[in-house]
Structure 1
């Protein structure tokens, strides 16, 4: 039996749909696949690193970690979907002069946080003058700002676009990345190397199959496409940047 892990941000939005995805995958691959969602980014990554998983849909930095630590193989990524970060504050509050500056962040290990640090650099706000309030979800970062528990928050672009209009109306975007260099991706464990082309072809072909296309649409995805070498080089560069940031702390 294989085990599938999915990034908690995605299961939080589409729990039922990911179970449907797992059922589709089992039928197409003709093998049992166990899927049990984990609602914490840190717990999910810890579980995968502990072993026993063969299939993963991961955020960019988790993907890089699995590649580096477990020799996982990235095979496809969502078409036209990239991870970006917004820096937000309460409506009309701006950036306070008081230091340290409290910033809510879903986790220091996520791409949202790493890209967020690049926004601070662009605004000439030294990281040393910031105090990061680490929470376990992107929505809790937003709630921290709305409840005045933090002055600013790093927000995942997908989370922002799925907020209600009334919630967005209470916030201002102070800065945002538009790099299109980071993305979620689907990876397989080394033990599935012999089935790499089969699994990759299956995922890419989902958009052509009526049942597969319905599941993709319910997940908010256009489809999957193979990952190019250039895209992987970008992910590796991002991982190196991430490691340099945290080694300097």
Structure 2
């Protein structure tokens, strides 16, 4: 039976092929069968995780807590220089110049990306806004959040900063960032489950050196990642503790 690999659904659509290239690269270098399955939503992915159908995952920081502390996953590596920050965005013609200018009843467009939504809600607190006095609509992707803002269906939107930066210049010019988080220590991570942990040492060596391999460099570029760096247990626990603190 092949191992099962999946990727947090918040990656940019342009990088979808990159994850398939990465999976092929892993199989060749590990000498084992790995099946990549991508999910359309976080809920569908979590159902697969809880059903024991995932052995390797490029996980968002929010889900890392469940994976590590409840299901026995271990961190292998993290993308160097890629931090998970959230931004609050408004249409370019919005009267709001700062978060404090937003008022009760504001229409929020967001996704089910849990860490981004959590951080976004924290950044709304200076305006005395919370779930009780805003109108929220969830969208499947950041592109749809952007469309909601541009069509006048929402007043404000939450984005993963990287997701916003990867939108086309044409779309970004029609929006404006009010505020960006500066947490710095929250990031995605490559985690390996109990059934695949016999391969962990070899897997870590491979991915943290792939930026030195000609084919590996091309694969990384297709994923929008410069290189992977090793992630220790201490670094993993620190990030999980921070996320848990934010979600209390």
TM over 0.5: yes
Unpaired runs of 5+ residues, structure 2, are none
CA contact 1:5–1:48 (8 Å) conserved in 2? no
Unpaired runs of 5+ residues, structure 1, are 245-249
Question: For the aligned residues, what is the CA RMSD?
Answer: 1.9
Q: 1:111-140 CA deviation, whole Å, 9 max, x = no partner?
A: 111110121124443443223211111221
- Tell me which residue corresponds to 1:182: 186
Q: Greater shift after overlay, 55-64 or 2-11?
A: 2-11
- Tell me which residue corresponds to 1:201: 205
CA contact 2:78–2:188 (8 Å) conserved in 1? yes
CA contact 1:12–1:39 (8 Å) conserved in 2? no
Secondary structure of the corresponding residue to residue 34 of structure 1: strand
- Tell me which residue corresponds to 2:22: 21
- Tell me which residue corresponds to 1:168: 172
Q: 1:199-248 CA deviation, whole Å, 9 max, x = no partner?
A: 1111101111111111011211111111134532332223323441xxxx
Distance (whole Å) between structure 2 residues aligned to residue 93 and residue 197 of structure 1 = 51
- Tell me which residue corresponds to 2:7: 6
- Tell me which residue corresponds to 1:216: 220
Distance (whole Å) between structure 2 residues aligned to residue 216 and residue 200 of structure 1 = 15
Secondary structure of the corresponding residue to residue 22 of structure 2: helix
Distance (whole Å) between structure 2 residues aligned to residue 39 and residue 127 of structure 1 = 25
Q: CA deviation at 1:148?
A: 1.6
Q: CA deviation at 1:98?
A: 5.3
CA contact 2:6–2:54 (8 Å) conserved in 1? yes
Q: CA deviation at 1:94?
A: 3.4
Secondary structure of the corresponding residue to residue 8 of structure 1: coil
Q: Greater shift after overlay, 179-188 or 93-102?
A: 93-102
Distance (whole Å) between structure 1 residues aligned to residue 224 and residue 102 of structure 2 = 39
Decide which of 95, 112, 137 is 2:141's aligned counterpart: 137
Q: Greater shift after overlay, 3-12 or 15-24?
A: 3-12
- Tell me which residue corresponds to 2:71: 70
- Tell me which residue corresponds to 1:247: none
CA contact 1:26–1:32 (8 Å) conserved in 2? yes
State TM-score, norm by structure 1. 0.90
Q: 1:60-88 CA deviation, whole Å, 9 max, x = no partner?
A: 11222212331111110000001111101
- Alpha carbons of structure 1 residues 209 and 7: separation in structure 2 relative to 1, 3 Å: same
Distance (whole Å) between structure 2 residues aligned to residue 180 and residue 46 of structure 1 = 29
Q: Using CA pairs below 8 Å that are at least 6 residues apart, which structure has the higher relative contact order? A: 2
